[in-house]
Structure 1
Amino acid sequence: MESNLFVKGMTYGWDTTRGAYRQPYALESLIRLKETGSEWIALSFYTYQNTTFSTEIVFDYGHTMTDRDIEHAVRQAKELGLKVCLKPVVNSRDGIWRAHIGFPNEIGSEPYWEAWFKSYRNFLLHYAELAEELDCEMFCIGCEMVLTESKTEYWRELIAEVRAIYSGPLIYNANHGSEEGVDWFDEVDLIGTSAYYPVASKPGDSVEAMVSKWQPVKERFARLHEKFGKKILFMEIGCRSAKGCAMMPWDFTHTELPFDEDEQANFYSSVIEAFWDEPWFSGFFWWDWSTKLYPLESAHEDRGFDIYGKKAEHIVKQWYAKDR
């Protein structure tokens, strides 16, 4: 892996259904994404296990992206000059956050852990093989699987098997606040995190106030880098364009909050200003850029994570145009 890697990226393709990547609107979206100055996409898609306590991860023929879908999206991205991090994710069909997938750490639970990791291995190795065949420049081996992270030996064995198939750099996507709980970060090439840190103290907080709140987070990441010798990459980072969302940048449920593109823009500015020049920092995959964009004239009605046509997009364009 190149030592000076810096990702100017976006997450693309999330929360859509099979076949969507091959629609004309998906190519149009990728073209608009490229115009932000992005050089990378994290192609992120998911399948389900039935509950957080299930031991089997299955291909959902009614939902999950097919390999043909993924191949099409990767090839279109590469034709536009974008690099690709393939990011397969497992969600729980019962709606409980994937961080809770797992089993009690007590006598009698080990067969369940063993069965789950066997299923996850089959899931992950399939996409590792696909990432190698499609020449994806990075592969993400997991996302916010908090309860599983203490099973260090299982993860070490799994990563070794992935490396036997995929030759590019590997990253794991921890969740904000739980990064120090991963003892096997020495096995990956980059430490990833969903950096949804609440850096605003009130709705409409200033960029300066948010930058100040990022300082202790930076110190934690600097220590993490020193411990493992790996650079830190924000595998997910973003904030909705709604008032107060910088206080809870992970939020997608409070749909009643009023539109506020300044809130989103200030969050973006604060993150970039705080981390851009840190030598141990390796970039961003902003969350997220939709496969099907809203009409540009509707940008000021959208209160989601997308930045298309909003102030945050201009901020990203300005920074991504710079050398790093």
Structure 2
Amino acid sequence: MLRILPYLVITVCVLLSCTSKIDSLTENKIKIRGVNLVAPPEPFDPVYFDSLVELGVSHVAVVPFGFSRKGSQRVIYNHEKQWWGEKDEGVFKTIELAHEHGLQVLLKPHMWISGEGWPGDFFIEDDFIDQWFNEYNQYILHYANIADSMNVEMLSIGNELRKLAINYPAYWKNLIEKTRAVYKGKLIYSANWDNYTQISFWQDLDYVGINAYFPLPKNRIEELTDLESIKDSWSPWVRELNEFNSKVNKPIIFTEFGYMSKDDSYNGHWLVSDSAYDEEDQALAYDALLSVFRSKDWWNGGYSWKYFMKSIPREEYYRRDAFIFQGKKAEKILKKHYSTGY
């Protein structure tokens, strides 16, 4: 017994060390104060990570796109024609720099559907669904292996694939099982705000992810005029989210939230894209969301959409891509909330 004791001690220590390492890599000890990073077309100056730290950011989402098209079973990713930040070289470097700056990482692959863009309505005929999911599995498992090798804290297995997520849950459960076989961190799926209650595989994941573009007000009757009225208009959605959390018993993360710098931006970006430029309403919308949710125990924080790793020339980008908060009033609101750590 005495002869084998040292070996037992060594084995226990190794196991405890591994467990401790995994826990430290995967557990989110604080509410997420995050941003989604726009993958840049070329290598960027690390000074932008200094700016994020100064803003109070604790987490970043790295977003490598994959591409498919209607009538095709292919999923294209890490292609030579993609931007640097979406190819493996850029993904590795971005994760490395984020960790060097003390930021935790969500690796969050997105699908882009050629000719359609948003993947929410993308659908594959039953005769080809096996082939498509086989390609999609390779796409996600590719990033699962990167996430594991880079000690990434969390991985999203999909983003806003509304029809495919609702109609083919068995394929997603199979993907989750395969992903857990190669990746030790936390898993999440990023559902659109209008269908998160229809996802049937939340219990197989660690978190509920919602892209939180909830339109305010929900009933479209009341008029919102100031911060308090916008905060009050969240009440129906908060009740719905609270009830949902009670059913699934999983923390909720807003894998995306954000607003356009447009009049009445809190109404829903698909309804206000042609409205007049308005930084004030964007700032009010940010302030209301973070004020309402920061006190909710079941809300684990979120990632603002979106942050460019480059300087933003005002006239070139501000009106064309109104989701930008950099250099606008909304950035000061984000800093006000993020710098206090919720």
Regarding TM over 0.5, the answer is yes
Does residue 82 of structure 1 match 2:103?
A: yes
**Residues 241, 302 of structure 1: 8 Å contact kept:** no
Counterpart position of 1:211: 231
Q: Residue deviations 1:136-187, cap 9 Å, x none?
A: 1111110000011121111111001001111111111000110111011111
**Residues 27, 153 of structure 2: 8 Å contact kept:** no
**Within 5 Å, which residues of 2 pair with 1:66-145?**
66-103=87-124, 109=126, 111-145=127-161
Task: Please give the secondary structure, in 1, of the residue aligned with 2:64.
Answer: strand
Could you say if the C-alpha distance between residues 61 and 310 of structure 1 is closer, same or farther in structure 2, counting changes exceeding 3 Å? same
Does residue 45 of structure 1 match 2:64?
A: yes
Q: Distance in 2 between the 1:304 and 1:203 partners?
A: 23
Percent identical across equivalent pairs? 26
Does residue 293 of structure 1 match 2:314?
A: no
Report deviation, 1:73: 0.7
Give the residue type in structure 1 aligned to 2:116. Answer: G
Report deviation, 1:214: 1.0
Does residue 268 of structure 1 match 2:286?
A: yes
Q: Distance in 2 between the 1:163 and 1:238 partners?
A: 30
Counterpart position of 2:302: 284
**Residues 264, 272 of structure 2: 8 Å contact kept:** no
Could you say if the C-alpha distance between residues 298 and 61 of structure 1 is closer, same or farther in structure 2, counting changes exceeding 3 Å? closer
Q: Distance in 2 between the 1:240 and 1:253 partners?
A: 8
Q: Distance in 2 between the 1:299 and 1:165 partners?
A: 40
Give the residue type in structure 2 aligned to 1:45. Answer: P
Q: Distance in 2 between the 1:323 and 1:291 partners?
A: 23
Q: Distance in 1 between the 2:188 and 2:282 partners?
A: 27
Counterpart position of 1:259: 277
Match of 1:220 among 232, 236, 240: 240
Does residue 314 of structure 1 match 2:332?
A: yes
Could you say if the C-alpha distance between residues 10 and 154 of structure 1 is closer, same or farther in structure 2, counting changes exceeding 3 Å? same
Q: Distance in 2 between the 1:98 and 1:301 partners?
A: 24
Report deviation, 1:304: 1.6
Does residue 158 of structure 1 match 2:179?
A: no
Task: Please give the secondary structure, in 1, of the residue aligned with 2:170.
Answer: helix
Report deviation, 1:303: 5.9
Report deviation, 1:117: 0.8
Report deviation, 1:297: 10
Match of 1:182 among 182, 190, 199: 199
Q: Distance in 1 between the 2:332 and 2:90 partners?
A: 30
Give the residue type in structure 2 aligned to 1:80. Answer: H
Report deviation, 1:277: 0.5
Counterpart position of 2:49: 30
Report deviation, 1:221: 1.1
Counterpart position of 2:211: 194
* 145-154 or 197-206, larger mean C-alpha shift: 197-206
**Residues 11, 288 of structure 1: 8 Å contact kept:** yes
Q: Distance in 1 between the 2:47 and 2:28 partners?
A: 33
**Residues 13, 290 of structure 1: 8 Å contact kept:** yes
| Runs of at least 5 residues in structure 2 that lack an aligned partner in the other structure | 1-25
**Residues 199, 210 of structure 1: 8 Å contact kept:** yes
* 127-136 or 292-301, larger mean C-alpha shift: 292-301
* 313-322 or 194-203, larger mean C-alpha shift: 194-203
Calculate the TM-score normalised by the size of structure 1.
Answer: 0.88
Does residue 232 of structure 1 match 2:223?
A: no
Greater radius of gyration (CA):
2
Give the residue type in structure 2 aligned to 1:171. Answer: I
Q: Residue deviations 1:233-279, cap 9 Å, x none?
A: 1000000112232212356853xx43211111110011011111011
Report deviation, 1:53: 3.6
Report deviation, 1:115: 1.1
Counterpart position of 2:35: 10
Match of 2:184 among 159, 164, 167: 167
| Residue correspondences, number | 310
Could you say if the C-alpha distance between residues 242 and 126 of structure 1 is closer, same or farther in structure 2, counting changes exceeding 3 Å? same
